Amino acid sequence: KLLYHLEKEEQMPDGMCVDAEGKLWVACIDGGRVIRIDPETGKRIQTVRLPTPRITSCCFGGKDYSEMYVTSAYDGLDETTLAKEPHAGEIFKITGLGVKGIPQNFYAA
């Protein structure tokens, strides 16, 4: 079933994760943001804008999983664009979201 229809400015979904409240966080590649979606209502409930457009993935970490780490890409950007997007390809740490992630599951090989 369709969970959420991205707005034009959100572009395309890429990597995603789930927080402790069961909400879905989606990295919007070429949208310069990570959005939080309530899977029960299908509504976007939070947007975190980042200083570069090619946002590729997100996950929670830190001592208590209250930090979000967001990756970005620089592939596909020409030199002129890279000069305008100096943060392309960087990893960002976001704090103060008011929500925590959940520990990853480990599986025995």
CB atoms closer than 10 angstroms to residue 3: 12
- Residue 83 token pair: 């000069």
- Residue 55 token pair: 């946002």
Please tell me which residue in 14, 19, 30, 64 is annotated as part of the active site.
Answer: 14
Sign of CA dihedral 30, 75, 85, 18: positive
Residue 14 is assigned to a ligand binding site: yes
Beta bridge partners of 57: 71
- The answer to whether 14 is a known catalytic residue is yes
Cβ partners under 8 Å of residue 30, min gap 6: 11, 12, 53, 54
**Which parts are annotated binding residues for a divalent metal cation?**
14
The catalytic site residues sit at 14
Which amino acids are annotated as binding site, given as ranges?
14
